[in-house]
């Protein structure tokens, strides 16, 4: 039982990272009808930006802000360079462009920083606290705390603000949105910035837990992508629930069944969903919105 609680905590911690990246996937998908295959690279680039900023001698909080500003800028460049020129084409050229951007980002970082994985220290000096039978690692606590705040912010932003409603309107019917005077290109720009920052946050938060490496982006992105399918593709709540569920499942699978097959469990669950419930947990609601 104690072990189960401990695993649940760790699983939710890692699942929160998947949830943030999955949220980025879903928001861009809803705004542009395209899966952004460079979403994982956003996490990787942000982790490297963080490493660079810390090595340059910036205090942690300043490095954090610099890295997130860098991600916002990357969101702008990505939108203008990858999506905007192809926005009137079908989804296929755009998807290929995001794959190209993903390769470009990974290899740019490789060229600059080399293949050696980097280590980023955790945020806190105290490694964690013991709460009854469960040891709460401080970095996982931070990840969970930030994710909770972001989920609340996300809900408030999309459900309670007029700008959020304009973003939703744009993702539902671009032509109608433009007829009402909503600037569609601005709404899509905001979506890319927000998604890049979300992916970046995930990368920065998870960096002290994993190594900072070129491959970290694709690993996280694959899990997050699986999470969006499990949750119900295109659904915001589904992405978050799916991410958390995936984190918990793979942590339990690693502990009770097999450590080397840890990554396998996530995809086993994905396959099971594709076979038995391809619309995902929240599938029906997506159909209603379409």
Partner 1 sequence: MPLLEIRNLVVRYGEIEALRGVTCAVEQGQVVTLLGANGAGKSTTLRAISGLAKPTSGDILFDGQSIAGLGPEAIVRMGISHVPEGRRVFPGLTVKENIMLGASNRRAPTSEISREADAMFDLFPDIRKFSNALGWTLSGGQLQMVAVARGLMAKPRLLLLDEPSLGLAPVIVQAVFKIISEIRRNTTVLLVEQNARMGLSVADYGYVLETGRIVLGGKPDELWGNEAIRAAYLGGHAKASA
Q: Among 33, 116, 172, 258, which residue interacts with partner 1 (rule: CB under 8 A)?
A: 172
Does position 88 bind partner 1 by CB under 8 A? no
Tokens of 170: 């744009």
- When binding is defined by CB under 8 A, the residue of 173, 257, 258, 277 that contacts partner 1 is 173
- CB hemisphere CA count around 282 (13 angstroms): 17
Which backbone phi and psi does 219 adopt, to 5 degrees? -60, -50
Q: Is 182 in the site for partner 1 (CB under 8 A)?
A: yes
In 81-169, which ranges are E strands?
Answer: 128-131, 134-137
- The one among 33, 90, 121, 183 contacting partner 1 by CB under 8 A: 183
Q: What separation, in Å, do the N-terminal and C-terminal C-alpha atoms of the chain show? A: 43
Residue among 214, 206, 264, 278 at smallest CA distance from 15: 206
112: part of which helix (H) or strand (E)? helix 91-113
Q: How far apart are CA 159 and CA 257, in angstroms?
A: 41
Q: Is residue 89 part of the contact set for partner 1 (CB under 8 A)?
A: no
The Cα–Cα gap between 218 and 37 comes to 9
Query: Longest Cα pair distance anywhere in the chain, in angstroms?
Result: 59
Q: Running DSSP on this structure, what letter comes out for residue 89?
A: S
Site for partner 1 in 184-203 (CB under 8 A): 184
Segment lying near partner 1 (by CB under 8 A), choices 31-39, 132-140, 170-178, 219-227: 170-178
In the bound complex, what is the minimum distance in angstroms from residue 151's beta carbon to partner 1? 19
Give the nearer residue to partner 1 in terms of CB position, either 132 or 181.
181
For partner 1, the binding residue among 6, 108, 138, 178 (CB under 8 A) is 178
Stretch that binds partner 1, among 80-88, 172-180, 189-197, 269-277 (CB under 8 A): 172-180
Q: Which stretch binds partner 1 (CB under 8 A): 110-118, 144-152, 158-166, 201-209?
A: 158-166
| Residue number with CB closer to partner 1 (21 or 167) | 167
Query: Is residue 181 helix, strand or coil?
Result: coil
Contact between 33 and partner 1 (CB under 8 A)?
Answer: no
* Residue 271 token pair: 């396959």
Closest CB to partner 1 among residues 97, 167: 167
Cα separation, 19 vs 29, whole angstroms: 15
Stretch of 41-49, 72-80, 126-134, 169-177 contacting partner 1, by CB under 8 A? 169-177
Interacting residue ranges for partner 1, rule: CB under 8 A: 161-162, 165-166, 168-169, 172-173, 175-184, 288-290
């Amino acid at each position: 039982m104690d072990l189960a609680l401990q695993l649940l905590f760790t699983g939710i911690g890692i699942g929160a990272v998947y949830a943030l990246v999955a949220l980025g996937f879903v928001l861009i998908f809803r705004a542009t009808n395209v899966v952004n295959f460079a979403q994982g690279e956003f996490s990787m680039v942000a982790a490297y930006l963080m490493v660079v900023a810390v090595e340059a001698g910036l205090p942690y909080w300043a490095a954090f802000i610099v890295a997130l500003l860098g991600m916002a800028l990357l969101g702008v460049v990505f939108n203008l360079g990858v999506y905007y020129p192809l926005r009137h084409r079908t989804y296929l050229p755009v998807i290929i462009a995001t794959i190209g951007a993903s390769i470009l980002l990974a290899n740019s970082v490789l060229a600059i920083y080399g293949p050696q994985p980097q280590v980023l220290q955790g945020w806190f000096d105290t490694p964690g606290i013991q709460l009854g039978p469960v040891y709460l690692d401080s970095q996982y606590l931070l990840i969970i705390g930030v994710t909770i705040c972001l989920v609340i912010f996300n809900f408030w932003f999309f459900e309670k603000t007029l700008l959020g409603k304009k973003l939703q309107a744009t993702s539902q019917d671009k032509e109608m949105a433009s007829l009402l005077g909503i600037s569609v290109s601005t709404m899509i720009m905001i979506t890319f910035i927000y998604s890049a920052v979300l992916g970046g946050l995930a990368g920065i938060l998870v960096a002290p837990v994993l190594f900072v490496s070129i491959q970290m982006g694709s690993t996280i992105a694959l899990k997050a992508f699986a999470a969006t399918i499990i949750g119900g593709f295109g659904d915001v709540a589904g992405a978050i629930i799916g991410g958390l569920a995936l984190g918990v499942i793979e942590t339990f699978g690693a502990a009770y069944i097999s450590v080397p097959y840890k990554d396998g469990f996530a995809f086993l669950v994905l396959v099971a969903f594709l076979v038995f419930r391809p619309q995902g947990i929240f599938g029906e609601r997506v159909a209603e919105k379409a």
